[in-house]
Each structure stands twice: as structure tokens, then as C-alpha cells.
Chain A
């Protein structure tokens, strides 16, 4: 083969690509050879890391599942419907992708300090005059409205307050801040944006014609989505789930800020790497990192097998 200008151009491009891949191979190779397989197994077998692995797998599955539940309707809407302000909505859906991860965590933390956030976490009270509410369903004593001073025990106000408590039902909230549910929420808010992108791309590539024919055959729009679009989009759904899962697995900033890094409670694999690094245990951090690389490669293989592109 003679090296004419065209070939020279392709050769240069191939060298750039090869250079990039070699750089990555060197990075992973250096990490992999830092310690021995025996030390990886020892680290991965420890109680804390096994717990963090288990939590990572469970929270990633939950976050990816929730992300997919959101991504299917949003992706379908964005792919199939033209409406005013669509380009703005499209840009808004990408916000979690472009926001610095720590900012996402901070936004979550601040949101749950607002009135709405506190109601979500702490629940709310409903007055039910004429009905005596069982003790376990009443608000916690002392019962007082926000902004009022505490009642003195044995006072007239306290007696009146106890009477009011009898007729008040407490609807419990769902705590997120510094909880395991907070880990799932932090993973979900970022992973959902990636799942939505994938589902939108999937529906964009599927012809709308079969759904239109289904409408003429007697389907409502929802039935056309359920019976025609979703079965056709199943590979895209697998890809969206995997991408959301992989994204959740690598999530660190929002989790650290919003859910904390408490060992055996909110510690997931990226948190483990950070915790081990912070105490100078580089071998453990390397072992967990390599385990995460292996999981990420596995997900990439599954996504490629579905025919979708990440």
C-alpha cells in the first residue's frame, strides 16, 4: 500500500485513536498492577466492603428502575409530540447532566430544608374533629404549631393541647436526608437524565407509523404506547436501565453531600473508595475501584448487546 495523502490522513487519525486507548490501558494497567489479586480478594471479602457492595447493587437497581419508570413517559412525550417550549424543556431535562455533582447534592440538601421538603420527610397533621385518633397515629407530644412556644407540663394550654392531639391524625413522612433512601434519590436524580436521553433516542428511531395504525385499529394513545411502542422499545429500555444503573454506580458527589458517608449505613462503593483514600488505605481503594471497573465493563457489554449506543 502506498502512502498517499488520503492514507496518511487515516493513519494520523488512527494514531490519535490508538494513543487515547493506550493512555486508558496504561491507566487501568497501572491501577491493576498496584496490588496483588490476593490483596483484592482480602479487601473485597471484608464485612464493610461486602456491605457497601450489597448496598450499591440494591440502590443502583432501585434508582435505575425508578429512572426507567420516569424515562419511558418523558422520552415518549419528547419523541412523539411537538409543542411550544419543547426546546426549553429539552434543555431543562439535561440540567442534571451538566450540573456539577456536588451542586446536585447541595440542591437536594437545601430542598429538604424547605417547607415542602420538611413535609415530605416529617409528614403532616390532619384535624379530624369528632373522631378519637388511636395514640400511635397521633402527632408526637408536645403538640404545637410551628412558631409557637412550648407548653409548660400541667398547664391549661397543655391540657387543651392534649385534647387537640386526640383529634389529630399524623400522616408520616419519608425521611431522605442522611438515609439510605437519600442514596437512592441522589443516584436517581442524575441517572434519570441519562435514562431519559436514551429512551428519547430509542423512540426517535422507532417509526410512529405502527402506533398510528394501532390508533385506527381501536387503540387509545395509551394503549398504542403499551401494546405497540413499548414492546418495540424493549431493547432501548434495557439499555436505558443499564446506563442509569452504571451512572448510579459511579455517583459520589451528591451521595456524599446529601446522604453522607456513614459506614454500614449509607456507604456505597464510590464512598468506600473515598473513605479508604482518606485514611491512606490505597490498596483497598484500588481493589474497590477495580471491582467497579469490572462492573462498568459488564454493563457496557450488556448495552452493546442490545444494539444501543451509550
Chain B
């Protein structure tokens, strides 16, 4: 039975959304995607929808504007009412003035060549007069902080700006409800921060929002959270109550916030919701003197004085042996002359685990593409095992360096998982028995043996990402480079992917990941390279990176909660386990 909050209807306004016994089964599927879901959302409420991949979150929110069942065909049952109107036979376009929707893929929801036209698009479709459109375009752009961008081409905006534009385009129709379906998944930390600042502002203005999101910590802004699992709502609680239920969250493949995990581990009840509360509780519990720790807040000079110093040193040096790939004074300019990389010196040694971070457009992917020879330097050199990469063919390079693109669908084409993985070794002319042996070995390594005869197009995004990793591993590379390998994956899939990479790393494969996810860097990487406007601005141990306020600000990285809390206590802990062990050692 679903857990229900006593305060769920606290806002007391009239119901804006009423969902009664909604079920939906996609055409061709035997299992329903939604099983008799019911909930009510009041005017001015913000409701977050969370759950693992494939739980039915997107299907549920698509019912609110009739994309389900009008667009995605299947068997629909139940009633959806928006502002008292029952949505029954309406077309999706007729529901647009009532329910606005912002999607994850910002490229697919922008159709115009300038920002003002983009915002006016929906109003044109609904037959608004020009005067009305001019007035509303201005108001919507002001609301999302894009005033002055009217004549800009949307393609030239940053990811965060594009998503804010998508919100403005929806807001211009002044719908009763705005649904945001994973609006920050494809954004860098700066873009995420922009979108969440906008959501906070909309909350203060009394908007009725439905927000689908993987990151629980970001959902504290909501009034209620619906947890969806296997097409059912298994909990409907305020964020503070839900986040205290660590076991429930983990059973739903959600990442419990660091503060909740910490409170659980330290036995602090009730669970604290803010860093200030957590700091007070820990200081009281462990009798940490405020003045004593304040005297040790000089993070940049000496990262983590409360942690054993040797550990930091070990992190810096661990695994750094001979350089497998070496980049010397690398400069790369686009054909039109704009510099993408400038004077980069960088090396990856065997057994290293490196995270490349930085804002969108900082040069991370361009650098990575040089490491596999997809791009050739304008100036400088890339050496692979001491040999100049420019003298090797891409195929020769790929025997030593594997590259996994952000979108696994850019390489998948075969009829079965096994065929897909065997494609690379076959291209290199390996004998059939050797191809079979390698395929079997890498499928076992990535945990896909049972799916070897499956059509890869029918797998989940996490599984397809693992197929892509397996395909790269099948060439026995000594270095594996992954461009944002966890984008769009839920917590369970993210952790599974990272554990796979850790396992490969233990086996001797050097790992280089490009990522925007702070907790992944904190938990798994050992070295951070930070890019900013085509230049390398930091290259060092993870702890040193998280200890520097300036670097964090420039990268727009949001500190993992546990790291932020530990810094308040004069430490730089990267994981909950680490902070717990330090605190317990002190006590």
C-alpha cells in the first residue's frame, strides 16, 4: 500500500490535477506501464515524480496532456482532470493551453531560428493576435531571465539557456500546469543550477509544477514526492519524510541523499534536512568544538587536515605508472579558426582513473577525441605508448584505446548483443574461436551474458550503454575513455556502470571519464582534470579538487552533500563512509 502524507493537501487550493485509477498498457506489451494510479495535486503545489528507469514516470506525466494515449498508442483506462476539465477525446494540441510540457531533449523541442519566435510558436498555433504575442513573449523571457536574447539563434544558447527557453515557450501560453520531464538530464552543472533556480522562482510565484527527476537532493524544492515503481505509486510523501526512508529509496533504486544516509549511519533522528542542522547535530553528538574546527578551514593550503595526510598523498600517486597516452602542448582550432583547446599537457598512466570535468563547451570532449585520433591537433602532439598518434590509423589506435560515446545508439546496429560485441574483433581479422572467446569474456565482465541473444535496440539505456562498453572492451584496450557514460541512467544503473569501470580499472585498464556528476567523481575517480575555455586549469587528486572553493565555483560543480558538510567540520570527506569512519575514530 502506498504511504501517504498527512500534509499532502496542505496547500488547500482547488485540485488542479486529478488522476483517478489510470492504467495504461503500451501496444505490443503484455505488462501494463501504469496500474490504477490515482493522485490529486492542488493549485500552486510542486510535485516531484521519482523512481527507477522504466518505472512509468514519463508515461504517467504524458497522461496529463494526452500524449498518452494519443501519441503513444496502447490501452488506456481511468480519468485525468485538469482544472476540473476531464481530458477524454481531446487532441494533444488542444490540451496545450492547459498543460505545458518541457522535455529532456532540448534539441528536439526548439523549432525556430530566434528566441522570440520560439516563445511565440505555441501562441501562433493557438491563433493569438500579434499584440498579445508581443506582450507575452516579453513577459515569458523576463520570467526565465532571457530578456535581451530575443534575436539570438536558439542553437547558439548554452544547454541551461535552451531549457529555460523551452520553459518560457511553455509559460507564454500560461497553462494551468507545467510538467518538466527530466529537464536537467542533458545539462552541465551550470545548466542544472539555472533550471533549478528557475523552478524555485516559479514555486515562489505559485506555479503548479510536476517535475520528473532522478536527483533526489534537487527535489527538496517540492511539496510532495511521488515514488513510482513498476507502474504504481508506492509512496506519496513530503521530501523530508521520504528522504528519511533510506531503505524504501534503495529498494526503489533511488540514491538516498547523503544527509539521510549519514543520519542513518550515525543514528541521528529525526533525520536532518539541511547542512546547518546536520552540522549542529554532529557537533553535539561528537562534541566537536566549533572554534577548534574553524581554525582548520584552510582547505586550499592543506586539503583535509582532519584526515590522515598520507591518504591524500597516496590518492595522488596511486596507479600513476608509465604514460600510456601523452598529450604535449596540444592546440586545436576549428576550421573557422576558433580555438577549442590551447596548450594542453596531459598524460594518462596505466591503472589510472581520471575524471575530466568542466562546463559544456570547455573542451572536454574535444580533448578526449584527440586521445583516440578522431580529431588531429592543429599544433602539438599526442603520443600513444611513445608513438605519434598522427602516424597511426584510427583502427590501429583503437587496439589500444577504447572510446565509448555518450549516446550508445550511435554505434549499435547488429541484430543481437553478441553480434554487436563481436563486430570489432571481426574487423581486426581475429579467428572465429578467438572472437567467440573474447565476446564471451567481455559479456561476462559487463554482466550481459544472459542477454547475449537479445536485440540490443530492445534493451534499457543502461544496458545499451554496457553493450557499448563491451564492444570497446572486446578490442582489449589498455585505456578506456567514456564520454558521460551515466547520462540518463538511474542511480542503480549509474552505480552498476561505475562499479563495472572500477572492476576493469582494478584489472589494469586505465579509465578516463567525462562527467558532470559530482558524486561519481567523489566516489570513483582518483584524479581530476578540469577544463575551462579550452585550457586545463586543474590536474590533481580528487580531494584537492573538492577542497578548492574557487575550482568548484568555476566548474559550477555542486558539492556532494557529504563533502559540503565535512567542509563545515573542517574536513574534506568524499563519501559518507569516509566521514562516518573519521567521526567514529574521533569519538
- A and B, one complex? no
